[in-house]
Amino acid sequence: MNRTVTTTIALACLAALAGCGGRALPDPSGTFEATVVDVAPVIGGRALAVLAAEGQTVARGDTLVVLDNELIALQRAETAARRESLQAERRAATADLEQTRRQRALAATTLERAEALLAQGSATRQRVDDLAAQRDVADDRIEGARARIAALDAETVRLEAGLAVLDRQLREGVLLSPLDGTVLTRSLEPGEVAVAGRTALRLADLTRLELRVFLEAPDLDRVRLGQDLPVAVDALPGEAFTGRVAWISEEAEFTPKNAQTRHARAQLVHAVKVSVANPDGRLHAGMPAEVRLP
């Protein structure tokens, strides 16, 4: 009897040692994360309308916030009027340049004839000098007209750049949704003054969540990019979900501080992101889940 008990205990110990000899292959766990986008105005202004509420689903390009940009619109109208005035001045300067060119051509032709007559003794030196002076005055007027046109063109370019800036500011006075998603938080109400750079709405695409898990180096050969893996959600036991490996970190890091034991935190691991479809919205950010590795 004692020999039998001893044999049984010995076999049990051998089995335990054999089991302890192999490295455990735990399923990595993590919590779901959503891609969050903070929508903030680039310019400040009073909010005329906030058209999205918390929990509301929005599409890319939907209008979310409308700011009061009347002052910018008035500045644009003033700048546009100044540009029209410059264009009118340029048309007048161009017409004056053409007229001066004709006068210069006439003065040059008349001067040539007078010089020929002077050589024949049929014209006076005074007449020739007067025509030469008219030609030189016309040359000076042409140069002045060209300089005036160049200055008007430069000013027009400056005003057009200003108009482009004002147009951009007018567009930025209307905040559009950058993605198809859900409004998580709303921190701006109509009548409040929006501050440039301060978040007005926080959006997230909840139709696909990411599960970040950590694998030790020996386990990396068990996953590959694009691979479909079963995912078990703690809050939804018995239901099967499928995730796709979307990213594998190339650099090792220490296990995050929220690991339960100091030994686990001291291990070098690689982060892996698993993308899980959530078309019916049953999954939520922060839910714990496990990835079933093959």
Residue 16 lies in a domain: no
Are residues 195 and 133 part of one domain?
no
Residue 221 lies in a domain: yes
Q: Average the pLDDT over each of 35-49, 86-100, 259-273, 279-293 and give the range with the smallest value.
A: 259-273
Report the share of the chain in percent with pLDDT over 90.
74
Are residues 45 and 85 part of one domain?
no
Residue 279 lies in a domain: yes
Residue 259 lies in a domain: yes
- Contact between 274 and 245 (Cβ < 8 Å): yes
Q: Average the pLDDT over each of 37-46, 99-108, 216-225 and give the range with the smallest value.
A: 216-225
Band of pLDDT at residue 4, cut at 50, 70 and 90: very low
Q: Torsions phi, psi of 213, nearest 5?
A: -125, 170
CATH number at residue 240: 2.40.30.170
Residue 190 lies in a domain: yes
pLDDT given at position 252: 78
Q: Within 13 A of 88's CA, how many CA atoms are on the CB side? A: 6
Tokens 């209307």 belong to which residue? 174
CA dihedral 175, 179, 185, 187 (to 10 degrees): -10
Print the domain residue range for 96: 70-172
Are residues 137 and 84 part of one domain?
yes
What is the number of other CB atoms lying within 10 angstroms of the CB of residue 107? 20
Are residues 75 and 206 part of one domain?
no
DSSP 223-285: --TT-EEEEEETTSTT--EEEEEEEE-SS-EEPPTTSSSHHHHTSEEEEEEEEEE-TTS---T
Residue, of 122 and 191, whose pLDDT is higher: 191
Are residues 99 and 43 part of one domain?
no
Q: What is the pLDDT of residues 25-59, one digit of tens each?
A: 568 999 999 989 999 999 999 999 999 999 999 99
What is the number of other CB atoms lying within 10 angstroms of the CB of residue 273? 17
Across 206-232, average pLDDT: 92
Residues 294 and 292: their CA atoms lie apart, in Å, by 7
Are residues 102 and 115 part of one domain?
yes
Are residues 48 and 96 part of one domain?
no
Are residues 262 and 231 part of one domain?
yes
User: Is 157 in a helix, a strand, or coil?
Assistant: helix
Q: What is the pLDDT of residues 20-32, one digit of tens each?
A: 444 445 689 999 9
Residue 14 lies in a domain: no
Band of pLDDT at residue 69, cut at 50, 70 and 90: very high
Tally of domains in the chain:
2
- Contact between 268 and 253 (Cβ < 8 Å): yes
Give yes or no for residue 72 having a pLDDT over 60: yes
pTM of the shown model: 0.69
Point out the domain boundary residue: 172, 195, 215: 172
Q: Torsions phi, psi of 122, nearest 5?
A: -100, 0
Are residues 57 and 117 part of one domain?
no
Are residues 139 and 41 part of one domain?
no
